[in-house]
A and B are shown apart, each in its own frame.
Chain A
């Protein structure tokens, strides 16, 4: 029952995107398309410039952000997991405290816009999500489980701290890396908040924010279509188009989901058991 409830909305969206617009306006959205039509998708793919652009932005931001975030998270976690590092608790608290208290949205926003001048740059989409205290903690508790003898023996062989991290710890941390990497990737892929705050340049709009814009005003959609040279008639299938956009924007997640799901479950389980 519950499971059914979880999947019905997706079928609804899919069917709505496949229904003839005039049918939607008269009868509303329905679970099965009463009058099958690919019109919405045709229009969507006829002038795909901006959508493709949004896809490219999202893919690039996700790739760069995930790789950089993963590297920095694991490097930080490694330092905190080193038992012979005397100041590790101080640093842990330094990071942890930021989850307890913050200056709020306003100073953070003003810092990024007025002082770091990151408005309308790709950095605004990538940098704020690079670090997450929760991910550092999960990674750290995983690395703490790696036997110390390994680092010890490498040290005797004359390896430096960074080399130990790159050559020994990273390869041994694959399960944790996969999990945190997926979490980071999902976060970047689904992010629209930083775009909402910082991006007004259409060239830098990521997919979810583009979808958000399109849902919010169809005028914007008309303009986008016109901008790409379409002759827009009043019969633009707005409702069907919204739903088609939704499908296209969430498509990759829905397709990749069954394959990555088990890593998420494993990762969550690691986190849950370690507390």
Chain B
């Protein structure tokens, strides 16, 4: 009887299933089949053997990854950068949104929004060119300015200490417009009656901001931050790779899991270790997303991812 109903449904949905087929195949091929490739983390990959014919080597890849000291460095960098991005970007975006909402005429608001959204649209390659223009040791604008003030030029591309600040700044610069739009959308959906009521009670702009706008933004803030926290172990490869490239001098402060995995795969060809690091990243990521989802569920069931 149950079998019968299944075949009935299959017939009933055949067109829909057919329409879903491309997507199902795509994800099967490019997402689910690579999951089987996780076994590479436990193999010594050779080209003759391929994924399935290569000999097993147990936990060696994972042991090498951890014993080389790279594991700790890239994990720490990935997590710290993402935490800095989350905090700085969200604060700036929220500030910009509130500012745009409260201040200025329609024209000013439009132009500002257009201008701060612009960096989002250019590729990381172009951002890399801009960084080069600004930061180059001999001819970069920053050093030109320093020299014109009679100060010593700084060798930015050889000094790891500067890079956390540079990268946080660049991330904030590129994402400012995008996040501001999100927050602005949330602010405009706040009931205007609340502002009117506050005004009647004699609240000034600052009080309105603290008492009405920000508390009403809490749900948006929490969701945006929690979503970002779920991705805390995923580095923005485009950003790191175009800003830093394969500049080994800077790795102590710029190497993240994604750049490490890429380098081991393409540059140094250590496929087993690269796969091990990738699996390590996936597991870390999966665990944090699960924890985050659990936290969201506790806070507000409807907002949970699943």
Say whether A75 contacts B19, CB under 8 Å.
Answer: yes
- Report if A103 contacts B (CB, 8 A): yes
Chain A's interface size range is: 35 or more
Distance in Å: Cβ of B273 to nearest Cβ of chain A: 9
Residues of A contacting B245 in the complex (Cβ-Cβ under 8 angstroms): 216
Say whether A215 contacts B129, CB under 8 Å.
Answer: yes
- Report if A228 contacts B (CB, 8 A): no
Q: How far is the CA of A266 from the CA of B12 in the complex (A)?
A: 37
Interface centre among A7, A27, A128, A246 (most CB of B within 10 A): A246
The stretch that binds A, out of B69-77, B206-214, B248-256, B278-286, is B278-286
Residues of B contacting A31 in the complex (Cβ-Cβ under 8 angstroms): 141
Q: Mark A102-129, 1 if CB is under 8 A from B, else 0.
A: 1111111111001010000000000110
Nearest B residue to A87 by beta-carbon distance?
Answer: B13
- Report if B194 contacts A (CB, 8 A): no
Q: CB < 8 Å: which of B20, B37, B176 contacts A108?
A: B37
Residues of A contacting B282 in the complex (Cβ-Cβ under 8 angstroms): 101-104
Q: Mark B1-44, 1 if CB is under 8 A from A, else 0.
A: 00000000100010110111011101101111111111010000
> Number of B interface residues, CB 8 Å?
89
Residues of B contacting A82 in the complex (Cβ-Cβ under 8 angstroms): 16
- Report if B159 contacts A (CB, 8 A): no
Question: Knowing A96-B306, A98-B32, A261-B117 touch, does A193 contact B24 (C-beta < 8 A)?
Answer: no
Residues of A contacting B130 in the complex (Cβ-Cβ under 8 angstroms): 9-10, 12-13, 246
- Report if A192 contacts B (CB, 8 A): yes
Say whether B139 contacts A25, CB under 8 Å.
Answer: yes
Q: CB < 8 Å: which of A104, A253, A275 contacts B275?
A: A104
Say whether A106 contacts B15, CB under 8 Å.
Answer: no
Nearest A residue to B137 by beta-carbon distance?
Answer: A28
Distance in Å: Cβ of A192 to nearest Cβ of chain B: 5
- Report if A36 contacts B (CB, 8 A): no
Interface of B, secondary structure class, is helix
Question: Knowing A6-B173, A136-B23 touch, does A190 contact B133 (C-beta < 8 A)?
Answer: no
Q: CB < 8 Å: which of A72, A193, A211, A253 contacts B238?
A: A193
Say whether A193 contacts B237, CB under 8 Å.
Answer: yes
Say whether B118 contacts A29, CB under 8 Å.
Answer: no
Q: CB < 8 Å: which of B26, B139, B176, B258 contacts A131?
A: B26
- Report if B115 contacts A (CB, 8 A): yes
Question: Knowing A86-B9, A131-B26, A239-B139 touch, does A162 contact B122 (C-beta < 8 A)?
Answer: no
Interface centre among A7, A245, A254, A272 (most CB of B within 10 A): A272
Say whether A212 contacts B242, CB under 8 Å.
Answer: yes
Per the 8 Å Cβ criterion, residues 117-158 of B in contact with A are 117-119, 121-126, 128-130, 132-134, 136, 138-141, 143-144, 147
9 contacts between A and B (CB under 8 A): A28-B136, A28-B138, A85-B16, A107-B34, A111-B30, A127-B30, A131-B27, A192-B238, A216-B245
The 6 residue pairs across chains A and B that have the minimum distance between CB atoms:
A107-B37, A104-B278, A103-B34, A190-B123, A28-B144, A28-B139
